[in-house]
Amino acid sequence: MVAAYPLRTFVDHHMWGGRGVFDTMKRRQFIQALATLPVASSVLTAGTSTDTVNASVAGRSRILPKGICPGSTIGIVCPASAANASEVKDFVDLCTAWGVKVKFGRNMSRRNGYLSAPDADRASEFMGFIEDPNVDAVVCARGGYGVMRILPMLDFASIRQAGKLIMGFSDITALLIAVQQISGLVSFHGPVASSTFNAFTVDSLKTVVDSSDPKRLTFSDQRLTTIRSGLAQGRLTGGNLAMIVSTLGTKYEIDTTDSILFLEEINEEPYRVDRMLTQLWLAGKLQSCKGIALGNFRDCEAKGTSITGPSFTLEQVFEQRIASIGIPVIYGLPVGHVKNKLTMPIGVRAELDATNKQLRLLEPAVAERT
C-alpha cells in the first residue's frame, strides 16, 4: 500500500526530525493510528489560515499539466463514491478510439458505505497514480461524496511536481479547487469516467485537453440568459455550488479574487440555491469576481410551494442575489450535471461576454507536446 504522503512528511520531519522512522513502520497501521489526529500536511498545517493559503498561492507560479493525446495513459480513480467497470465503459471505449490507454485504480467496484473505500485507501490510490511515471492523467470515476475527507491526506507538493491533468466534477469540485489553489496546477472541471460521452462533450474535452493540438475553447449560445450584460476577463474557477459552500471557512475554500466564477447544481430547490448564494455573498466571494457564469442548475426549479409559500423562480433568485453586484452574469452554461458538458480548466484566464452570451478561453490549458 502506498502511504498517504503528507502524513509521512509530517511524521518524518516534525515528530522525528526527518530520520525516516516512517519507513520502518507498517504503513497501514500507522495511517489508521493517525486518522483521528488534527489535520496536517506537507503544504498546510492545522494552524494555517485561509489568508496564508491564498497569499502563498498568489506567489506560486501556475503550471499547465501535460495534456492527453494518443499514446497517453489515463488512471481512473475513485476518490469519492464507487463506480464499477460497466459504468465507465463509454469512457474506456472513447479512450480506445482516441489511442489512449486506461489503468484502473484498485478501488474500482469497492464499497464502503457511501464511499468507494476507507479514506486512507482513497487518498493512497489517488497519490499512487500521481506518483506513477506510467500514468499521464487522472480522471475520477464519479463524484458522489467523499473527496473533502481526503484533502488533508494529499501531498500537494507532489501533485505540483507531477504536473498531471486531473479531471472530474460535482463532489470532485473540492479536489479541483484545492489542487489549483495550493499546487498552482491547472485542474479540469469536466466529465468523470462514468459520464455520458456524446459529440458535444467529447469535442469540448478534446479541444481543451489534447496536447497534440491545444486550442482555445470558445462557447457561444444565444439560448443563454443574460442576467446582467457586460464584458469581463479573469481567472476561471468554480464548480458545484454546494461543494464550494461546504469548504468555506477551511484551508480549501475558493479564492474568487479577479475571477470568472462558474457555478452549477442539481436537485436543489430555489430557496436552497438562494441560501447558498447568500452564504457566498456574505463571505464576500461573489463581490470579488469579475464575472459569473451560472450553469443549467438541473432540476432546481420549484416542484411546488416552498417552505413558506410560493417559490421564486431560479432566474428571480439569480437577479436578486447576483445582478446587484454590478458584474456581467449569464445563466444556462452547459457545465456539470448535464449531458452536453463543457470542460472548464480551473486557473486559466477566460473572457465572459454576457452581452453576446459567450465564454472563451484566453490561453491554452495544457502544455504543448514536446
Cα 87 from chain centre: 21
- Known catalytic membership, residue 264: yes
**How buried is 278 (Cβ within 10 angstroms: 0-12 exposed, 13-18 middle, 19+ buried)?**
middle
**Amino acid found at 256:** T
For residues 151 and 246, is the Cβ–Cβ distance under 8 A?
no
**Cα separation of 235 and 269, whole Å?**
29
3-class secondary structure, 223: coil
- Contact residues for 6 (Cβ-Cβ < 8 A; gap 6+): 40, 41, 42, 43, 152, 153, 154, 155
The one catalytic residue in 41, 116, 337, 351 is 337
- Residue 358, H or E segment: strand 358-361
For residues 347 and 260, is the Cβ–Cβ distance under 8 A?
no
Q: Which residue has the cell 493559503?
A: 53
For residues 295 and 318, is the Cβ–Cβ distance under 8 A?
no
**Cα separation of 300 and 294, whole Å?**
13
**Cα separation of 300 and 367, whole Å?**
37
The one catalytic residue in 125, 253, 264, 269 is 264
- Known catalytic membership, residue 337: yes
Largest Cα span, the chain: 65
Rg, Å, the chain Cα set: 20
The one catalytic residue in 42, 170, 187, 259 is 170
Task: Just list the catalytic residues.
Answer: 170, 264, 337
